[in-house]
Every structure is written in structure tokens, then in C-alpha cells.
Chain A
Amino acid sequence: MSDITKQSLTELVENIKNKKLSSRDVTKAFIDRSEKSEKLNAYITNDFTSALDKAKKFDQKPNFDLKLPGIPIAVKDLFCTKNIKTTAGSKILNNFVPTYESTVTENIWNEGAILLGKLNCDEFAMGSSNETSFFGNVQSPIDRNLVPGGSSGGSASAVAGQLSPVTIGTDTGGSIRQPASFTGIVGLKPTYGSCSRYGIVAFASSLDQAGPIAQNVKDCALLHEVISSYDPKDSTSIDFKRNHYSKELINNIKGKKIGIPKEYRVDGMPNEIEDLWQKGIQYIKDCGAVTIDISLPNTSYALPTYYIVAPAEASSNLARYDGVKYGFRAKGENLIDMYEKTRSEGFGAEVQRRIMIGTYVLSSGYYDAYYLKAQKVRKLIKNDFDEAYKKVDAILTPSTPSSAFKIGEKTNDPISMYLNDIFTVPANLAGLPGISIPAGHDTKGYPLGLQIIGKAFDEQNILNIAYAMEEKINFKNRITDWWIK
């Protein structure tokens, strides 16, 4: 059974239901591979011992009606998990053990899943390469010293490297789609309000959204079906009719109109990204859908808008980490001194940078020029999409402006790092669902992804488009297990 970890979630569920595999077989296989994969540094905390216990218990009294029967799953360490350390990749929460469970993780446990452990991520999800984590870099399974992307870098590495069959990440500006693209897997950022934010360590509340990361579209649809739920504990959760995304998944997209926004053709974008996009357009046509050139005129303002709104919210959301109630506390002469030392020592450089930016743009005298203006531009960006969706059913873009880069390559150039999010942030600003699917390789052999952005609550449609394209693309991820040898 050495190939257990190569199986998709859908296959594993089938095999467990058919009793070809036990939960313990599956759980043991992923634990073994995870233990051999320490070099990836994908985990911050593992819960292997109790995962095996839970698997045994499941096998003793199996419930095959569940959607994730006895399936082991590791999750991003931004989800609070009851009695399991939850760090958000930060020193300031290095010792924090929640007494409560996030709604999204609760949903997967309720469907029979078993927690494998907590996956590495950029500190408070602020980063695009997983290099801001207090717990160190994550290596990409694609190549040695390659970043897996971020902020859900540990999650992407774990799925691409087959340490966990699927996982859940969070996406504030691209943190699911960009690492999925970098590691050749599928990542969905759902419509804002689709998945509850309750129990997820907050980065930027109006943008944060949890979503599935998987090997293929079908797995992604199944996991999304489980995690998406209306939750009265989150005031921004939306009570809409949710599909049975995996059951309703179809690869027939004949006649669908797919928008190709010209503004995503940015300066300095490598030819291979343009080529990939053109290939994508061809795949769409091959599937019987039509492409329509559209304009999203305010696209170029999305990134600057994002880097005002997100830090503003973050500066306030992170005020609670003050050393008073939980988490890391540095000794100080008095209250102010304690605050300063705790936050200087507890937060890393990128988090501090964003707190500073956020504090600045909210300050009196600057609020109107930055925060308020950014909110207005955000509305314009949303209007662009509303306008476009009068003509098209979905929008196709590249997921990222380049393939994955080397560890350390961009750490001293935050602007260049921020530019990674250029194609992903508009969906967050507009609250729309976006999915990244692997679509090809660059000249170095690194994966490249395409993004499909949908209408609000129209996850089924973009999943269907992705499903149809996936079949045409027939992408094979080149995983060499370099870190195991």
C-alpha cells in the first residue's frame, strides 16, 4: 500500500467506503510520509499520535455516510483547533492553545476527518512565500530551495508533497491560489461569506476567506462542500443556498461565456505567462465555451488598494496581541514598556511593516487620502466585475505573474513580493470566488496556474469550468520526492 498517499481524496473516500482501506491504513501512510518529509518544514505542530487513535476508533465504529470518513487532514495553523497549539506562524502565539474550534475545522471533523497537524504559514498570513513564518521557511516539493508560495505555503507543500490528501488554507489576497499555482495543485478562494471566519486568526477581516486546497478539482469541490456553511457566530457569514458541489460537478461548459480581461496583461509579465493564458483560452474553446474580450478598467489600482485596506484592518486586528491576556509577553518596566517589548519581540519584520502601514493610513489627516479613498476604489473594482458579469459567466486570468521563485530571492524587496498578488487581490477586494488550477510548466519545469474568477456565490460554475479544463489540460505534477532521498 505504498501508493496510498498518491491517491486523490475522492479515491481514498471510495476505498475506505469499500473497505479496501481502513482509516488507520490511510492515516498511517500520511503520517509515515509526513515524518519522512521534515525537510519540507510543512508542519508547525503534528498531532500524529492522537490521529492514529482517532483512526482506530473510526475503524472500530465506522460511519460511511460521512463525506470524509476517517480521512486524515492537516490544516493551516491559522485555524484555531481545540487543545492543539495554534500559532498563526508567529512567536507571539507560540504558546497559545485554544479552548475552542474554528467553524471550518469543526465542519470537517463533523464529516469524519481526522486532524494530522497544523501547517506552516506566513506569520499571520502576511506573505507570499512562507518566508515570514517564525517557524522557518517551507520548501517546495517542486524543487530544492524553491518557495511554495504563501501565505498557505505549508498547506500547498503538504498537498503537492502528498503529506495530506487535501487541506484548508485561507486567502486574503491570494494566499490559497498563489501557492496552489506555485506547487501545481488546485486552490479555491470562495465567495466572501461562504465559509465562516469564526475561529480563524484574523488578518484582514473584510478580505479573509477560508478555502480548500487539493490535488484536483473534484477533491476541491468535495472539501468546499464540507467547509462552506452559514454560521451565525460570524456576522459576515451569508445564508445562501449552498450546492452539493462535488455531486453537481459537471464537465460540460458548452456555450459558457468566459471573459478575458485585457488589463491583466501587465508590464514585464514573462512571455510564458502570456503563452499559458493563450493556451487556457484555447482549452476553453476546446470545451465548447466562448471567450469574450472584456475590460476591468480599475485593475491596476487593485494592488495599491489592497495594500491599504489589508494593513489597515490588520493593524487593528493585531492590537489584541499585547502580552496581557495570552501568548508571548516580554518583561517591561511598565505597561507601555511591556507592550513595546512584547510586540517588538513577538512580531516579525513583515508583520511590523504592515502594522505600521495600517496605522499610518488610518491616522487622522491621512485617513481620507488613503483608507477612505481605497474603499472608494474598492467599490469601483467591484463595479468593474459587476459590469463584466453582465456579459460573461466567468473570467479567465493567469494566477500569478511568474512561476515560483527561489527562497531568499525577494525577501529584501517587499514591493516585488507584493506584486505576486497582482492577479489574485481583485477577487478578494470584490468578494468573488476564484480558483487556481495547474495549467502547464515554465521553462524551468515549474508549475503555472490559471485562475477562473466567478460571480458571487457561483462556485459551482467555476468548479465546473475548472473541471472541464482540467480534463483537457491533463496536467501532471512533477514530484521527485527530492526531499526524501
Chain B
Amino acid sequence: MSKKDSEYLINRKDNQYEVVIGLEVHAQVLSESKLFSTSATKFGAEPNTQVSLVDAAFPGMLPVINEFCVKQAIKTGIGLNAKINKRSVFDRKNYFYADLPQGYQISQFKDPIVGEGKVILDMPNGQKDVGIERLHLEQDAGKSIHDLDPQNTFVDLNRSGVALMEIVSKPDLRSPDEVNAYIKKLRSIMRYLGTCDGNMQEGSLRADVNVSVRLKGSKDFGTRCEIKNVNSIKFMQMAIEYEANRQVDLIEEGKTIDQETRLFDTKKNETRSMRSKEDAHDYRYFPDPDLLPLEVSEKFIEELKNDIPELPDDKKKRFIEEFKLSSYEANILVSDIATAKYFEEVIAKMGKNKDIKLAVNWITGELFAILNSKGLEISQSPVSAKNFAILINLIKNGTISGKIAKTVFELMIDGDKDPQKIVEEKGLKQQSDPKALEALIDKIINDNREKAIEYKQGKEKLFGFFVGQAMKASGGKANPQLINEILKKKL
């Protein structure tokens, strides 16, 4: 299945280097409460207002798993075509930090809840499979705030204990473009599933990026560096580009690459060393004795499977088959669940005699342009799917021309107005009454006798002149097709 990787190579003298990338994506589970406590998870709340005794690690407090978060992780695993492990184990990852109240993070180390899976990317030169190594559940830490006071660090524990899914890819990615496609695909799948809102500004989705380079054609992996906690696709791409080139330069200079953890400085657009392998923490992982191994039954998994909506890949396939869309069009419509939903609603409201192609063109053209210029998501579209469908039908059945439709569309935006009413009120209805048009054309031919004679003598270019006159006389509302037919007959 997998086509050739999109060629992203770094050239130096005679050598061509390939970049090998693997991602550890941290996706915040969409849930009302935290992974092991009942505190709320709302973003942007006042500091330390969503903290329970468990989150703040008070003596004698015990974690209790949130079943909903487990369901969300399993659903995501299903969406990633992955193996769901019926038995998984929560471990403690021990380290000291002011915003880690327990002195350990509860995570899954040896036995994650989700095993190997696969994500399909649509790249310009074909499809590409990216392997998923695993998905595990873990707690988020709190937040240390260093810039509020010159002497002290403040700690906000609202995020402490919030459920994260760490999704680890295999080192299958080969370019910043593929990383872009991969993150967008993951986000799209999770949004379809409702398991993560994918909001990168709010930190709901962030990634550690593992980068190594090797000579093109080599089968061995180079030494990798891990770039920690990058929170936008653009920064990931910039960091990869910088890091890959840094590594190639080192190799070209005959130096070796140290396996280390690096940070991406977004202001300087460079990565810099955070800690070497030797300084790596010893997290002293061991199974959390406060929690029993997590066991889920086949039935539990099956019930979740029945609950999985149609996912982007299947939806795309169906759009192509059912609506005869091109792969390109289908991709655009399914990548965001809200777009797909809007599109399907429009199709449904258009009724029997529908022009799907026209609807697609209008969604990806006029509608996207408006949303873009207003900075809105499609879910906030000022034109409802219902009115949008009416508009497309008005074009399709000849009530208005495409040109008039654009005028109508602009008027619809303000308060989601019914296009039918706009057409009636503004008198924009296309003139399709042959008798009226005939009279109108007769008058034009009468007024332009000489030109009509010239046309008959063979000056065919003048046909356009007559069409123009007719349209002008009708105020743009005349049905162009009818005008053509009548003119041909009369001239």
C-alpha cells in the first residue's frame, strides 16, 4: 500500500541525507474530570480552582481511575486501527518537581492500554502508512509560573492530574510535510471520535519530536535527538528542519551526534541542548501499588467499537463512491469533521434533484473564502447548511445565475437569511419567461438593425454584443441560456 516517501533530502557536496522522524504526541483526553480524581478540567480557570486533595497529593489520598478516560483512550486506539490491550498497567514515573505534587507521574510504561496501529496519510504523491507504536494514558503535571515574581515560582495545579494520551509513532516520517499531515490526521481522527479537541493553542495537543538523519538508501538509523514539548505544527516543522541540518553538518564535519534531549527556541529558530543521555533522569518506574492492573473485557471493547462514528478514511471512500467526488475534493471535505458534517447536511437539504458538484465547488470556494476572511470555523458559519442548500438549488433550477448567486450569498451572511426571500425581495429572479425575453430581444434587434445585418453577413463576434445588451436590459437577471437560444433563432 505504502507509496514512495515524499522526497525530502538534505544535500551536501556528494551526499544526500534522509531525515527520520518519530513523534510522541501528547493529546489531552476530552473529559469533564481528571484521570484519577473528580476535579474539573476546564481550560483557563482561575489558578488552583480545579484541584482536589488527590491532585495536590495530600497524605492518604488515593487515585481512582476515571472510566470515561479509559473509554476515550480505547476509542482513540480503535481510530488508530490499533490493538487494544485487555490488560494494561499503571506505573509510577518518579521525579521531583514543584508542579508534580505526588513526586511521581502515574503513567503506563511496560503495558500500555493500546498497542501497535496505523495511520494513513494522503500525500501529494500518494498514500503513506505511518506506524503507531503504542498509546498510553498518563497524568499531566501542574504548571510552574516563573515570571510573576522575581523571587518566587508560583504553581498552578489545575492541570495536575488531567488525562493525557501519549501516542508514539514509529520512526516512519521522512519530512516536515509528512509531520504536518500526520499531526493533522491524528487531530482529525480524534476530533471525529470526540476524544481530544486538538486545540494546540490551549496545549491540548503537543509533541516531542525525535529526529535523526542517515545517508539516503541506508537502512541503519542515525543517532537521534529528542526535541521536547513543541506545541505547534509550524514550530515542529521549523525545529525538524533546523535539527536535521545541524545533524548533517556535524556528520559532514566528521563529528558524531550525541543522543540528547533538546529544546526548540521559537524566537531564534534553533534547537539547543537541554540534557545529555548521561544526565537523563532515572525515573524508577514501577507498577503503582495504589491501582490494580486495568482489565477490560472483549464486550467492553466491542461496545466501544459500536460507538465509533464513521472515520475520515471511511468517509472519504464513501464520498468518492456515493457522491462521485474526486479524491482531492473528498480529502478537503473529510479532513475536518465539521466540514464533513456541513457538507452532508447541505446534501441532505438539497433534496432529490441535487447538483453535488456545484455544492462542493461552492463550499470549497465561496464558503471557505468567507470563513477565512472572517476567521471563523465552519461550525460557526454565518450561513446555515439549510440556507446554503437552498441557494445551490436556486442556481441548479435556474432561478438565479451563478453571478447573481454570489450577490445573494453576500446578503445571506448577515443573519443567515433565506436566499429565496432575498431573491424575491430584491427581484433578483432570473427571467426565464421565453415570451418576455423574446420581446426584450426583439426590441434590441430593432434598436441595432445595422449590427444585426452585419452579424448575418458573417460578423459572428457580434453575437456576444447582443447577449451583453440583453443581459444589461434585464438587469443581469435574464437566463443566459435562453437568451442564447432566442438570439440564435431571431438573428
Contact = CB atoms under 8 A, between A and B. Distances in A.
B277 interface: no
Contact of A204 (B61, B102, B289): B289
A320 interface: yes
A335 B153 contact: yes
Given A316-B284, A322-B103, A324-B155, A205 B289 contact: yes
A107 interface: no
B213 to A, nearest CB: 28
Interface of B, helix, strand, loop or mixed by DSSP:
loop
Nearest to A88: B59
A233 B63 CA distance: 8
Contact of B292 (A86, A235, A316, A326): A235
Contact of B62 (A197, A318, A322): A197
A202 B291 CA distance: 14
Contacts of A312: 286
B53 A233 contact: no
A321 B389 CA distance: 63
Interface residues of A, number: 43
Interface residues on B, range: 20 to 34
Nearest to A205: B289
Contact of A320 (B62, B97, B101): B101
A304 B217 CA distance: 54
Nearest to B54: A233
B53 A198 contact: no
Interface string B37-57: 000000000000000010011
Contact of A201 (B59, B96, B155): B59
B64 A206 contact: no
B434 to A, nearest CB: 79
A225 interface: no
Interface of A, helix, strand, loop or mixed by DSSP:
loop
A301 B63 CA distance: 31
Contact of A364 (B57, B101, B282, B291): B282
A339 interface: yes
A191 to B, nearest CB: 15
Nearest to B97: A335
A276 B284 CA distance: 44
Nearest to A362: B284
A316 B59 contact: no
Contacts of A199: 60-61
A378 B62 CA distance: 24
B53 A100 contact: yes
A96 interface: yes
Nearest to A360: B284
B60 A316 contact: no
A207 to B, nearest CB: 8
Nearest to A364: B282
Interface string B437-449: 0000000000000
B395 interface: no
Which of B96, B153, B285 has the largest number of chain A CB atoms within 10 A? Answer: B96
Contact of B289 (A206, A322, A335, A367): A206
Interface in A338-385: 339, 359, 362-364, 367, 371
B282 A325 contact: no
B64 A235 contact: yes
Interface in B152-196: 153, 155
Contacts of B153: 335
Contacts of B282: 363-364
A227 B60 CA distance: 16
A38 B60 CA distance: 29
Contacts of B102: 319-320
A236 B155 CA distance: 31
A273 B277 CA distance: 55
A204 B289 CA distance: 8
Contacts of B56: 325
A316 B90 CA distance: 14
A205 B61 CA distance: 11
Interface in B283-316: 284-286, 289-292
B284 A100 contact: no
B96 to A, nearest CB: 6
A232 interface: yes
Interface in A159-217: 197-202, 204-206
26 contacts: A80-B60, A96-B59, A98-B58, A100-B60, A198-B60, A199-B60, A202-B59, A204-B289, A205-B289, A233-B62, A235-B63, A235-B65, A236-B291, A236-B292, A312-B286, A315-B94, A320-B102, A320-B103, A322-B96, A322-B98, A324-B98, A325-B57, A325-B101, A335-B153, A362-B286, A371-B286
Given A197-B60, A197-B62, 5 more contacts: A93-B59, A198-B60, A204-B289, A236-B292, A319-B104
Interface of A: 79-80, 86, 88, 93, 96, 98-100, 102, 197-202, 204-206, 232-236, 312-313, 315-316, 318-320, 322, 324-326, 335, 339, 359, 362-364, 367, 371
> Which 4 residue pairs of A and B lie closest in terms of their CB atoms, listed nearest first?
A319-B103, A205-B289, A362-B284, A206-B289
